[in-house]
Amino acid sequence: MRYKVDFLVIGSGIAGLSYALKVAQYGKVCMLTKADASESSTKYAQGGIAAVMYSPDSYEKHIKDTLIAGAGLCDENAVRITITESTERIKELIQWGANFDKKNTGAFDLAKEGGHSEFRILHHQDNTGFEIERALLEKARLHPNIEIKENHFTIDLLTQHHLGEEVTKRRGDIKCFGAYVMDKTSKTIDTYLAKITMLCTGGLGNVYNTTTNPIIATGDGCAMVHRAKGVLQDMEFIQFHPTSLYNPAEKPSFLITEAMRGAGGILKTANGVAFMEKYDKRKELAPRDIVTRAIDSEMKYRGEDYVYLDCRQIDKNEIMHHFPNIYAKCLEIGINITKDMIPVVPAAHFSCGGIKVNENAQSTIENLYASGECSFTGLHGANRLASNSLLESLVYSHRAFINSIQKVKMAEFCDNIPDWNDDGMVLNEEISLVTQTEKELQLIMSNYVGIIRSDLRLKRAFDRIGLIYKETENLYKQSVLTPKLCELRNLIANSYLIIKMAMQRKESIGLHYSTDYPNRS
């Protein structure tokens, strides 16, 4: 089948939904999402969304905190844009129906997280993302100009390459004409021609074997742009969240929000000794990279698989009101957090790099925009400040909206794009090979490209991923496509980009720590 739409939005998290709701006033929107529409990292966000709401907080304070966390690598313009537009975007989110917790006075009950100098995190208990996703999805489902297609897997972007032109290198004139998309129910691969394409495909946590990210987070958008010869940046900066629940049988790892440390939770070793003071005077509320390395170092030094987060000193009422889901989850596995310490371990959580975009969320490919975790705006630098990513999605999706409603007037459909050629054979062994290879890749990335890196480890990872790449490309050329095989290719492309950019960075900064270059250059 061939479809024609004004705006093709790929992804139904906060970035895709907030963009779709706005552009839908100006044209037909088709939103593609590879699972159920609500399945996204957005849905699992716990801590909340950072924004400047009242004094004594100020834009300058939030800007300063973001720049400090980013360790000197933030793009100050992106930081200023995001923070100074935060209040407006939050008001809009509330108008769309998202609820945030309030105090008895009627003021928002703002929380504090690592690296923030003020209480500025709006939250809905400890399931803020669920509430945001609910509100936005409800609105989008009711909009007459938005069609949401669930279980539709985007395979690749359409560019001149599909018109028979050989696009082997990055160049300034690549255009996006839409995407090839697999309907997972009918198993057909359809051609979606679009005037504007918006990538909101989220993160890539599943490159690692321990992650807080849902299974949809396989870096598809980044891989598609890489294949289309667009520019990606800062992929080496992978944020490991310090505290995911240590429960090895469970995937993805359940997050224990940083807001619990904001509320007074203390990190301790197995014998009950607090250790953060040794590492940073901000202790539990130091930026994430510092807390994660401190935990990693304690675990290695003591030969233990986890440390503890002690929340027993937090008021029981506060636990029940602010953290009811974490309380219930821990209780399920026999931990009463008002009486027992919580075993925690770092897990891959957020990609600071991604598809390079300008201040209007335009990628280096014409008529292709990107917003949310798949994009690189320059906001996060070498380390993201907690709860800045939901905000970034709202701000850049808004900016993409303003810019793309002008662009759409000039853009045309490219009718010459051929339909997908799906010649191939079904290999019986394919499914188990794909699953095995994915596990292999995740182990390589976790062992050699994790929290602590070195030249030798990166080289090992690079060589091993090279082999996996060759094997998988052979399989891809011979097989009928499946989403799992496409995701594996995408995970490999992301791993390659992370390793390559990590190898180029000959220093330790923010989230990238190399034992060969322990200092900043």
Residues recognised as catalytic: 288
- Asked if 450 is part of the footprint of ligand FAD (rule: CB under 6 A), the reply reads no
Candidate ranges 159-167, 196-204, 352-360, 417-425; the one touching ligand FAD (CB under 6 A): 196-204
- Provide, rounded to whole angstroms, the least separation between the CB of residue 514 and ligand FAD: 25
- Asked if 212 is part of the footprint of ligand FAD (rule: CB under 6 A), the reply reads yes
- Asked if 44 is part of the footprint of ligand FAD (rule: CB under 6 A), the reply reads yes
* Distance set, CA 314 to CA 259, 267, 338, 340, 371 (Å): 12, 13, 8, 12, 37
DSSP 118-161: S--EE-STT-HHHHHHHHHHHHHHH-TTEEEETTEEEEEEE-GG
Candidate ranges 26-34, 86-94, 405-413, 441-449; the one touching ligand FAD (CB under 6 A): 26-34
- Asked if 382 is part of the footprint of ligand FAD (rule: CB under 6 A), the reply reads no
Cα(351)–Cα(330) distance, integer angstroms: 27
- Across 22-76, the runs of DSSP E, i.e. the strands, are 29-32, 49-50
Candidate ranges 195-203, 353-361, 398-406, 457-465; the one touching ligand FAD (CB under 6 A): 195-203
- Asked if 389 is part of the footprint of ligand FAD (rule: CB under 6 A), the reply reads yes
Residue 450 near which of ligand SIN, ligand FAD, none (CB within 5-8 Å, type-dependent): none
Helix (H), strand (E), coil (C) string for 423-485? CCECCCCHHHHHHHHHHHHHHHHHHHCCCCECHHHHHHHHHHHHHHHHHHHHHHHHECCCHHH
Residue nearest to ligand SIN (CB): 47
Interactions with ligand FAD, residue window 119-148 (CB under 6 A)? 128-129
Q: Which is nearer to ligand FAD, 220 or 236 (CB)?
A: 220
Interactions with ligand FAD, residue window 151-180 (CB under 6 A)? 153-154
Q: Which is nearer to ligand FAD, 258 or 296 (CB)?
A: 258
* Distance set, CA 1 to CA 7, 35, 187 (Å): 18, 20, 12
Residue 13 near which of ligand FAD, ligand SIN, none (CB within 5-8 Å, type-dependent): ligand FAD
Cα(336)–Cα(339) distance, integer angstroms: 5
Left, alpha or beta for 513 (phi > 0: left; psi -120 to 50: alpha)? beta
Please compute, for residue 475, the number of CA atoms within 13 A of its CA located in the half-sphere on the CB side: 23
- Provide, rounded to whole angstroms, the least separation between the CB of residue 350 and ligand FAD: 6
DSSP state of 399: H
Amino acid, single-letter form, for residue 108: F
Asked if residue 349 lies in contact with residue 240, where contact means CB atoms within 8 angstroms, the answer is yes
Cβ neighbours, 10 Å, residue 415: 9
The answer for residues whose C-beta is within 8 angstroms of residue 343's C-beta and 6 or more apart is 245, 246, 247, 306, 307, 308, 335
Residue 200 near which of ligand FAD, ligand SIN, none (CB within 5-8 Å, type-dependent): ligand FAD
Q: Which is nearer to ligand FAD, 46 or 86 (CB)?
A: 46
Q: Which of 465, 488, 466, 494 is nearest to 476 (CA)?
A: 488
Binding ligand FAD by CB under 6 A: which of 115, 178, 202, 450? 202
Interactions with ligand FAD, residue window 51-90 (CB under 6 A)? none
Residues that bind ligand SIN (CB under 6 A): 46-47, 257-259, 350, 386-387, 389
Q: Which is nearer to ligand FAD, 47 or 114 (CB)?
A: 47
Candidate ranges 28-36, 267-275, 298-306, 318-326; the one touching ligand FAD (CB under 6 A): 28-36
Residue 362 near which of ligand SIN, ligand FAD, none (CB within 5-8 Å, type-dependent): none
Binding ligand FAD by CB under 6 A: which of 11, 115, 378, 450? 11
Structure tokens at 414: 């490219």
Residue 44 near which of ligand FAD, ligand SIN, none (CB within 5-8 Å, type-dependent): ligand FAD
- Across 326-432, the runs of DSSP E, i.e. the strands, are 342-351, 354-356, 368-370, 375-376
Quote the longest CA-to-CA distance of the chain. Answer: 68
- Provide, rounded to whole angstroms, the least separation between the CB of residue 350 and ligand SIN: 6
- Provide, rounded to whole angstroms, the least separation between the CB of residue 389 and ligand SIN: 6
Candidate ranges 183-191, 214-222, 288-296, 466-474; the one touching ligand FAD (CB under 6 A): 214-222
Binding ligand FAD by CB under 6 A: which of 74, 111, 135, 216? 216
Structure tokens at 200: 């909101």
Number of residues that bind ligand FAD (CB under 6 A): 44
Asked if residue 196 lies in contact with residue 463, where contact means CB atoms within 8 angstroms, the answer is no
Query: End-to-end alpha-carbon separation of the chain, Å?
Result: 53
Cβ neighbours, 10 Å, residue 105: 7
Pairing relation of β-strands 307-310 and 266-268?
antiparallel
- Across 27-173, the runs of DSSP E, i.e. the strands, are 29-32, 49-50, 121-122, 146-149, 152-158
Q: Which is nearer to ligand SIN, 257 or 397 (CB)?
A: 257
Candidate ranges 232-240, 358-366, 381-389, 508-516; the one touching ligand FAD (CB under 6 A): 381-389
Interactions with ligand FAD, residue window 303-362 (CB under 6 A)? 350
Residue 404 near which of ligand SIN, ligand FAD, none (CB within 5-8 Å, type-dependent): none
Cα(68)–Cα(463) distance, integer angstroms: 35
- Asked if 387 is part of the footprint of ligand FAD (rule: CB under 6 A), the reply reads yes
Which chain residues interact with ligand FAD by CB under 6 A?
Answer: 10-16, 32-35, 39-42, 44-49, 128-129, 153-154, 200-203, 212-213, 216-217, 220, 255, 350, 372-374, 387-390, 393
